[in-house]
């Protein structure tokens, strides 16, 4: 349920609704609209799981050792109270309900780009970083609890379920926030950082980023067989 009103002295929670990205980007596209909460939520329900796999083995008496398959993206349920009961002629509640429902519908721009997709969203509430992540809306449930004399809702209780769209790999580089597009290159004879930077990013001057990411003090001393981590293009600024 919603909590106290988001007055001037409070940080107001928002739900930014974006066009989905084009291509293979994991960055939300242009902003469609921002839903500013009338009342901040009194609680948020978050969940996250780690996926493990266990393969039965007849040779192991007490069972096989489970294998870690990776983390499951976060899931969050948000309760939103829309209220214009003091303005019975307002249709703001209706517009915001339709905006939430549109998060489960394909956008016109994505159809035109031949990559049909509903919007991507980002929930934000001040300094609460645990609830700020890029997501898609998997469900919207609306209970209209008060109507005007013309049948237009003036008060509605909404429950929105957000599912994270992973964009970062935690723990690889806490200062830069390493993106999943990072990859590893094994050095072969004739390689140089400048050549790798040109091949990877189209800019030979980006060799310094590769050197810093791998703790290389002397770029002239590259040994064949050495594994180099190549930062994602977003980290280099491309």
Which pLDDT does position 200 carry in this prediction? Answer: 80
Looking at the chain, the whole-number percentage of residues with pLDDT higher than 90 is 42
107 and 146 in a single domain? The answer is yes
228 and 151 in a single domain? The answer is no
Instruction: Please compute Rg for the chain using Cα positions.
Output: 24
3-class DSSP assignment, residue 73? strand
Nearest to 194 by CA among 179, 204, 185: 204
CB 19 within 8 A of CB 109: yes
206 and 129 in a single domain? The answer is no
86 and 187 in a single domain? The answer is no
> Which residues constitute the domain of residue 8?
2-50+62-164
14 and 69 in a single domain? The answer is yes
Which pLDDT does position 19 carry in this prediction? Answer: 93
Number of domains making up the chain: 2
Q: Which of 164, 194, 227 is the last residue of a domain?
A: 164
Hey, which residues does 14 pair with through a beta bridge? 36, 124
119 and 226 in a single domain? The answer is no
Query: Is residue 78, in this structure, part of any structural domain at all?
Result: yes
27 and 74 in a single domain? The answer is yes
110 and 223 in a single domain? The answer is no
Instruction: Name residues of the chain where pLDDT drops below 50.
Output: 4-9, 169-180
37 and 150 in a single domain? The answer is yes
pTM: 0.65
156 and 210 in a single domain? The answer is no
Tens of pLDDT along 77-131?
Answer: 999 999 999 998 999 999 999 999 999 999 999 999 999 999 999 998 877 888 8
Q: How far apart are CA 121 and CA 105, in angstroms?
A: 13
Specify the CATH number for the domain of residue 143: 4.10.410
Specify the CATH number for the domain of residue 187: 3.10.350.10
């Amino acid at each position: 349920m919603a909590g106290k009103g988001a007055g001037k002295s409070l940080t107001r929670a928002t739900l930014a609704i974006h066009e989905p990205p084009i291509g293979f980007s994991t960055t939300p596209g242009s902003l469609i609209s921002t839903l500013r909460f009338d009342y901040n939520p009194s609680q948020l329900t978050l969940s996250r799981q780690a996926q493990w796999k266990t393969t039965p083995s007849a040779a192991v008496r007490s069972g096989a050792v489970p294998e870690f398959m990776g983390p499951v993206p976060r899931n969050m349920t948000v309760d939103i109270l829309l209220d214009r009961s003091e303005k019975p002629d307002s249709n703001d509640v209706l517009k915001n309900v339709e905006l939430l429902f549109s998060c489960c519908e394909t956008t016109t721009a994505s159809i035109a780009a031949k990559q049909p997709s509903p919007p991507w969203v980002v929930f934000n509430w001040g300094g609460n970083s645990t609830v700020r992540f890029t997501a898609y809306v998997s469900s919207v449930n609306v209970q209209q609890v008060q109507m005007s004399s013309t049948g237009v809702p003036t008060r509605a209780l909404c429950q929105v379920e957000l599912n994270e769209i992973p964009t970062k790999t935690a723990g690889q580089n806490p200062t830069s926030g390493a993106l999943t597009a990072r990859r590893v290159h094994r050095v072969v004879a004739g390689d140089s950082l400048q050549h790798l930077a040109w091949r990877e990013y189209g800019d030979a001057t980006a060799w310094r980023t590769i050197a810093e990411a791998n703790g290389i003090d002397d770029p002239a001393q590259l040994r064949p067989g050495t594994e180099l981590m190549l930062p994602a293009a977003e980290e280099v600024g491309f």
